[in-house]
Chains A and B, each alone.
Chain A
């Protein structure tokens, strides 16, 4: 009887019945298109790229031959390349720390002191710059930091030229002008990735019930103690989640370093130069392994801080 019923009707309904009785087949049909796209196009490309890291690049003829070698990966540990990695890594860490410090008060204010329309306003006010065009935001900063630009105008009005010069003279931070200094590049990075830090922190603080703070105060904690003992520990997953973005986005960027800051390669610009101007695809491929490894290590660290539950 059941078989007789299930095999009547239009072909479409028969297929529906079949899929209902075979949930695995249904699942497979749903999964095939995305799996094909990601498996064949994306993962295939990634593996192909890593494979190319083993190819040989001939410096004299500037050609690539498919002879397998470990030379490219070994070259990552050259002092020059190691410098690039270190420079990028320290920028990523500094940007993450500064973003967290800047984001926290905004997130805390949003979560704790805004309701209804104000909260929506803040939310949109953080979302809009986050989604606004990356290249335009970078461009805006070249306008801001340029000679005779907005930043200089403000510095002059506020008579802070001395302070600025003092900052620019610090080795490793400064540079000849704001737009060619490490400081300028750092500012641009913090600006661009800051919203990615605000939203996860805000979400994690939003989940913190106000009664928890009242309980802490009720038990005799001063506001500062409540903050250190209750709020901060519970916000750690959010901060860690936000830092995934700030860290990984800074690590792979090659456009900001190209437009703002002193000369000297970042990992991203090195990869770009290797494959483009130099035409050494194997070295570029080997170099892409660096951010992958660094991010994998970073993810395994922040996973312990609960970052994945706060994403």
Chain B
């Protein structure tokens, strides 16, 4: 957390504050004792596998669900018991949820209509919102006549027309193809900087979360494993779950962990931090094994090593030499893997 945000967090109430919030469905604890502060103006992501509780947390903020226990405060005031239509937050839905019987303009103007804004004004504001997402000229089309990316923009314009202080996004890019998704990621980030409102973004795609967010909360089984900046999350994962879910990592446990790090605690070493060429430096950890598999992936080559102790080690070597010599790696070859001691992060074991 940088200085500015820690200063703001002390003076202003958080945009959204969870205090020991739980939500149970029968026997299932969808959200289990979650506490977070989401700061005003922050791009905050909730990342986790499906069923980890991230979407339920979003729905708790929107008001579609009510907490079983705990307190949710939105801009300082208690939100528990408040229906969605009395909350100053708006949502971009995963399936966009565009009203099929209304055209694009009426969809966007809907939030103003139900608030009693006069027709001329609400249409003007709807067109303004459509211009913001580069959809001017589409106002009279029906949602069924739009492409997936266009629907996504309409959903965004519709949620923003009410000028909410918090925008909730429930895996909004999930249905788009890769190119479009990457383009939308950039646009969303730009939009958030321009509007300076809080974005809370739910995703199961760790690349998406890392590339867009100021901070990311990693969810697992209804609990939060770690809340941190993308860089810290990647470089210093707190738990074995985070290390394995965010990016690819080698998590070593037990005897081999003790042998390499001197501590019985599990640790994580990223594949790209391991070297196979050159000589290990004096303060480097080293371990020998046999190459089992070599995959050329373009910008990098991925290698799999069976250590003498039996564990597998994934290694990634950047192909950053222009016209480098033919691949030196052959399966079956003996190699010495080494890495700086500082590249290892010791982890808390996530109970299985």
**CB proximity of B325 to chain A, nearest CB, Å:** 50
* Residue in chain A with minimal CB distance to B86: A5
Interface set, chain B 77-109, CB cutoff 8 A to A: 77-83, 86
Q: Give residues of chain B (136-158) contacting chain A, Cβ–Cβ below 8 Å.
A: none
A21/B81 in contact, CB under 8 A = yes
Q: Who on chain A is nearest to B84 by CB?
A: A20
Taking CB atoms, residues of chain B closer than 8 Å to A5 are: 82, 86
Give the CA-CA distance A20 to B64 in the complex, in Å: 10
Which of A1, A2, A21 counts the most chain B CB atoms within 10 A?
A2
Q: Which residue of B lies closest to A4 (CB)?
A: B77
Task: Determine the distance from Cα of A1 to Cα of B71 in the docked complex, in whole angstroms.
Answer: 14
Which residues of A (14-32) have their CB < 8 Å from a CB of B?
A: 17, 20-21
Q: Is A150 an interface residue (CB 8 A)?
A: no
**Chain B residue with Cβ nearest A3:** B81
Query: Hey, which chain B residues are within 8 Å of A1, CB to CB?
Result: 77-78
Q: Check if A124 is an interface residue, CB within 8 A of chain B.
A: no
Q: How large is the interface on B (under 10, 10 to 19, 20 to 34, 35 or more residues)?
A: under 10
Residues of A within 8 A of B78 (CB): 1-2
Nearest-CB residue, chain A, relative to B78: A2
Specify which chain B residues have a CB less than 8 angstroms from the CB of A2 in the assembled complex: 77-82, 86
In the assembled complex, the CB of B23 is this many whole angstroms from the nearest CB of chain A, namely 15
Answer yes or no: A155 CB below 8 A from chain B CBs.
Answer: no
How far, in Å, is A240 (CB) from chain B's closest CB? Answer: 32
**Residue of B whose beta carbon sits closest to that of A13:** B85
Does A217 count as interface, using CB distance less than 8 angstroms?
no
Q: Which residue of B lies closest to A21 (CB)?
A: B81
A228 interfacial contact with B, CB 8 Å: no
Find chain A residues with CB under 8 A from B83 CB. Answer: 6, 17, 20-21
Q: Which residue of A lies closest to B83 (CB)?
A: A20
Shortest Cβ distance from B81 into A: residue:
A2
Chain B residues in 8 Å Cβ range of A20: 83
How far is B83's CA from A21's CA once the two chains are assembled, in angstroms?
Answer: 7
Name the distance in Å between A77's Cβ and chain B's nearest Cβ: 49
B114 CB to nearest chain A CB (Å)? 11
**Whole-angstrom CA separation of A208 from B148 in the bound complex:** 31
Q: How far is the CB of A9 from chain B (nearest CB, A)?
A: 10
Hey, which chain B residues are within 8 Å of A21, CB to CB?
A: 81, 83
- Encoded as 1 (CB less than 8 Å from any B CB) or 0, chain A from 33 to 77 comes to 000000000000000000000000000000000000000000000
The distance from the CB of A7 to the nearest CB of chain B, in whole angstroms, is: 11
**A-side contacts of B86, CB under 8 Å:** 2, 5-6, 17
**CB nearest to A1 among chain B residues:** B77
The complex places the Cα of A5 from the Cα of B80 at a distance, in Å, of 12
Contact with A along B45-85 (1 / 0, CB 8 A): 00000000000000000000000000000000111111100
Q: List 19 A-B contacts (CB under 8 A).
A: A1-B77, A1-B78, A2-B77, A2-B78, A2-B79, A2-B80, A2-B81, A2-B82, A2-B86, A5-B82, A6-B81, A6-B82, A6-B83, A6-B86, A17-B83, A17-B86, A20-B83, A21-B81, A21-B83
Closest 10 CB pairs of A and B: A20-B83, A1-B77, A2-B82, A5-B86, A2-B81, A2-B78, A21-B81, A17-B83, A1-B78, A6-B86
| A-B contacts besides A2-B81, A2-B86, 16 pairs, CB < 8 Å | A1-B77, A2-B77, A2-B78, A2-B79, A2-B80, A2-B82, A5-B82, A5-B86, A6-B81, A6-B82, A6-B83, A6-B86, A17-B83, A17-B86, A20-B83, A21-B81
Q: Which B residues contact A (CB, under 8 angstroms)? A: 77-83, 86
Report which A residues bind B (CB closer than 8 A). 1-2, 5-6, 17, 20-21
